[in-house]
Amino acid sequence: IYLSCNHPVTGKLTSSFLNVHKDELLPSVLDKAYELMELAPHIPIERCRLVKYNIKDKVMNQPFDLDEYQTIGQIAGGARVRSSFKLFLETCKENETFKKYSHGVINLEVSLVDLSSVEVGLAKPVRGEESWTVEELKQHIGELFNISSSCMRVVMKEKDYQGNLTQDISHVRSTLKNILSKGYRQYEKTHTDTLFSQFYVSSDPEDYQKDYKRSLMYRYVEFYVKWIIQLNITISLKPEATPTTTNVTEGGMMKIISINEENDKEKRIQVQVDKRITLAQLKEELVPLIGVPPTGFRVYEIIGNEEYEMEELDMILKDIESGSKLIVRLGRALRRGEYRIKLYLLQVNKIRFCKFMMESIVAMDTPVREFKKQIIEEAKKQGIDCVLELDKMRLREKNRLSPGTVYPDHERIYNARSPRIDDINKEIHVYVEPLKGPEKKKHTGQRQLYVIRWRPSQCSVDPIEEIILDSLFNPKHVIEKLSELSGVPAKYIYYTEGESFSVEISCLDIEYKLRWYSITNLYRYSLGLYYEGRVIYYKDKRERMKKLTDKERSEIQEAEEARLNRIKEIKALYSIDKDIDYD
C-alpha cells in the first residue's frame, strides 16, 4: 500500500510502500506504518491515525480511527480497489483533536478581491465539500476571511475555447458538485502540483447590487484572469553574482509573491506578471534578484521533465500558462548559429563511467578538431580533473547513458551531430572520451565497437578494449579483428551479439546466458553491430570453464552484485533531470 506522511520534525512529505497482509487488523497496520515512517520518539502512536488519501488531488477524505476491528482488506474494498488504495499517516499536536473529513472533499483556491485598492489577493487553499450549496460556501469563506457573507460575490474561473473567463455563481441554487461538473471548468496547478478550483470573492454592499458585468468585480477579475499569470521561478546562483531584493521596484511589470532562499545555490520565487510583457522585459525585472545583467543569464521553461530555452527576446508571454515553472541559469544566451553542448567524461573501464564535465557553447560550423581545442582550454580554466590531449581524445554522441556516433575531426559540429538532437532546445549532449593512443577511426564508413574478453578458465573478464570495423555486414570481419587484437586464431574465436553499453551481466552468467557465435555458425547479418558504441564479449573456445568452490562462487557473487548495483544507481541518478557529478 502506498503510504504518505508529513514528518513532524522535518515537515516534509515522505512516501513509501507499506507491506501488510490483507487480513491484518487496522491497529496492526497502524503499528507498521508508525514504524515505517520513523515517528518514534518524536510523536506517540496515540496521536496518529490512518486516513484514506487521494494522491492526485492531495486530499485526505476518510479516517479509519473507528474501524479498528476491520481488516485492511475489508477497508480497501477488494483487489481491484486495493491497487489504487492509498493511505496517509496523519498526526496531530498535543491537546489537539483530529479534523473531521467526509466523502466528497474538494480543493478550492480563493482570492479576496479588494475593490477599494484594486487588488486581487493571493490565492489561499480552502477545503470544501461537494455537497455544499453556494450559501454554505459563502458562510465558510466569510468565517475564514472575516468578511460578510450577506453581500459576498463569488466568481468562478472557467475556460472555454476562447480562453479564460469568469462566471458569477453568487445566486446559483445548486451544490458545488453540480456547479463544478458543468461547462469547461479549469483547474489551477499550484507549485505543489495539487489541482484546485479557482474562486474570487468580494464583499462590497454597493458593488454587490450591480449586475455582474457592470460591476467593479467583473472589471478587476476579468482583467486579472485574462492577463495576469503566476510563474514559479527557480534561480541558480553563483558566488560572483550579487542578487538583492532592495532594488526591486514597486509598481513594475512583475509582482513578487514569495521568495524562498533555502540555500546559497538557488532561490525559488513566485511572481505575478502581465502576460503581454516580452521576455526582454521579464529579464529586466529579474536582474535585481539575480545580480547580473540580462545578457548574463538564460531563462528556460519546464515542459514535462524537459528544459526549453526561451530565446526570442521580443516574444510575449501570452502562450505561457499560469503556474508554469521557469529556471534561470547564469551564462550568456545563444547567438544565431550557436548550440549549447553539455559535455560528459566517458571512462569505459570505470564503474563511474559517466561524469558531467561542463557546459560549452559552440558555433555549428566549427570543425570537430577546433572544438576539441576549445574543450581542452575550457577544462583547464575550470580546473576539471581530467587529462585531455588533442590527438588522444574523441567526441561522440551521448544517447542517454550509451555512447553513440563518433564525431570525426574533419566534420563540422552541425554535420557530425545526430539528427535526433533537439533543434528547438538547441542543446546537445556529448561524451568526451580520453584514448590511450591516436584515434583509429578515420572515416564515417567505419564503426567503433567495444570488446570484452571473457576468460572462462579464470571466471573473469579483461578490461574493455575496442576494435574498428571496416565492413559493417561481414561477421567474419569481426572475428578477424578479434583475432588480430587477442592473438587467438580466428577458428577458436567465439563472440556474442552486440549489446548497448554498459552490459549488466554477472561473470557467473556470461558463459551460459549469452549466445555465442563462431566462424562456422555465423548468421549473415551483423549481429547488432551496425551502431557504434555497442559491446560484445569474446573468448577462446579452447578454454574450459573453471570449477568454482562454494567460497569462490560466493566471493564472486558478492563482488558482482556490488558492481552491478553501482551501475544501476548511476542509471537511476541519470534519470533525474540534472547534471550529476557521479563522484
**pLDDT mean over 421-441:** 79
If one compares 123 and 62, the residue with the highest pLDDT of the two is 123
- Give me the pLDDT at residue 236, please: 80
**Which contacts qualify for 547-556: CB closer than 8 Å, 24 or more apart?**
548/459, 552/459, 553/508, 556/459, 556/506, 556/507, 556/508
Residue 357, Cβ density class (10 Å: 0-12 exposed, 13-18 middle, ≥19 buried): buried
Strand pairing class (105-114; 119-120): antiparallel
User: Residue 65 pLDDT more than 80?
Assistant: no
Residues in the chain: 583
- Give me the pLDDT at residue 73, please: 84
2-91 has which fold?
A: Ubiquitin-like (UB roll) (3.10.20)
If one compares 560 and 68, the residue with the highest pLDDT of the two is 560
- Give me the pLDDT at residue 80, please: 44
H or E, element range at 485 = helix 475-486
Q: Which residues contact 467 (CB under 8 A, 6 or more apart)?
A: 448, 449, 451, 478, 481, 482, 485
**pLDDT mean over 241-253:** 50
| pLDDT tier at 83, thresholds 50, 70, 90 | low
Per cent of the chain over pLDDT 70 is 84
User: Residue 524 pLDDT more than 60?
Assistant: no
- Give me the pLDDT at residue 58, please: 65
Cα(499)–Cα(511) distance, rounded to whole angstroms? 15
Q: Is the pTM of this model over 0.75?
A: no
User: Residue 88 pLDDT more than 70?
Assistant: yes
H or E, element range at 28 = helix 26-36
User: Residue 140 pLDDT more than 90?
Assistant: yes
Q: Which residues contact 94 (CB under 8 A, 6 or more apart)?
A: 47
| pLDDT tier at 426, thresholds 50, 70, 90 | low
Return the C-alpha cell found at 188. 489551477
Q: According to the CATH classification, is domain 105-214 in 3.10.20.90?
A: yes
Tens digit of each residue's pLDDT (9 = 90 or more) over 323-377: 899 999 888 877 888 888 999 999 999 888 888 899 898 988 899 999 999 999 9
| pLDDT tier at 252, thresholds 50, 70, 90 | low
**pLDDT mean over 40-50:** 90
**pLDDT mean over 386-408:** 91
Q: Which of 121-135, 296-310, 480-494 has the highest mean pLDDT?
A: 480-494
Residue 205, Cβ density class (10 Å: 0-12 exposed, 13-18 middle, ≥19 buried): exposed
User: Residue 160 pLDDT more than 70?
Assistant: no
Side-chain-side CA neighbours of 227 within 13 Å: the count stands at 12
244-330 has which fold?
A: Ubiquitin-like (UB roll) (3.10.20)
If one compares 469 and 572, the residue with the highest pLDDT of the two is 469
User: Residue 444 pLDDT more than 50?
Assistant: yes
- Give me the pLDDT at residue 554, please: 93
Cα(276)–Cα(161) distance, rounded to whole angstroms? 20
- Give me the pLDDT at residue 579, please: 43
**pLDDT mean over 417-432:** 64
DSSP state of 81: H
Q: Which residues contact 16 (CB under 8 A, 6 or more apart)?
A: 3, 36, 37
Tens digit of each residue's pLDDT (9 = 90 or more) over 273-330: 999 999 999 999 999 998 888 888 889 999 877 788 888 888 999 889 888 999 998 8
| pLDDT tier at 262, thresholds 50, 70, 90 | low
- CATH code that applies to domain 447-540: 3.10.20.90
If one compares 124 and 577, the residue with the highest pLDDT of the two is 124
User: Residue 31 pLDDT more than 70?
Assistant: yes
- Give me the pLDDT at residue 191, please: 38
DSSP per position, 384-418? ------GGGEEEEEEETTEEEEEE-TTSBHHHHS-
Where are the chain's structural domains? 2-91, 105-214, 244-330, 338-434, 447-540
Cα(574)–Cα(353) distance, rounded to whole angstroms? 12
- CATH code that applies to domain 338-434: 3.10.20.90
Tens digit of each residue's pLDDT (9 = 90 or more) over 163-221: 678 899 999 988 888 888 764 344 444 433 434 588 999 999 999 999 999 999 999 99
**Poorest-pLDDT segment among 71-75, 274-278, 490-494:** 71-75
User: Residue 457 pLDDT more than 90?
Assistant: yes
